[in-house]
């Protein structure tokens, strides 16, 4: 699912539909995208500490999506992240 979503986000960047939220993030630039990651990260923390599991899952999904948008914006692929994680295995 992560790789599939990454490909969709990449396509939205390269072929931006008029009504696409993803395309609008790219239009607003990296600073805005990074701000959204920060906001979503905070919402994950709040949900983890004070909300139910369903809300936490929703916030984690939002954070994951915005991190993937950041990755596309910076030219980082899921394989790059997988390689970094793999290098940390003992």
CA distance 60 to 55: 9
- For residue 90, what pLDDT band results from cuts at 50, 70 and 90? confident
pLDDT for residue 38: 98
State pLDDT tens for residues 14-65.
999 989 999 999 999 999 999 999 999 999 999 999 999 999 999 999 999 9
- CATH top-level class of 2-87: mainly alpha
Domains in the chain: boundaries: 2-87
Total H helices, total E strands in the chain: 5, 0
Instruction: Give residue 11's pLDDT band: very low, low, confident or very high (50, 70, 90).
Output: very high
Buried b (16+ CB within 10 A) or exposed e, 41-69: eebbeebeeeeeeeebeebeebbebbbbb
pTM beyond cutoff 0.85: yes
Q: What is the C-alpha separation between 76 and 69, in angstroms, rounded?
A: 10
Whole-number pLDDT of residue 73: 98
């Amino acid at each position: 699912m992560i790789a599939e979503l990454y490909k969709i986000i990449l396509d939205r960047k390269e072929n931006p539909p008029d009504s696409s939220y993803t395309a609008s993030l790219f239009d607003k630039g990296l600073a805005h995208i990074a701000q959204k990651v920060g906001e979503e990260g905070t919402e994950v923390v709040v949900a983890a500490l004070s909300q139910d599991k369903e809300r936490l899952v929703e916030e984690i999904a939002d954070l994951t999506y915005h991190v993937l948008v950041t990755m596309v914006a910076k030219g980082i692929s899921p394989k790059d992240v997988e390689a970094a994680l793999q290098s940390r295995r003992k």
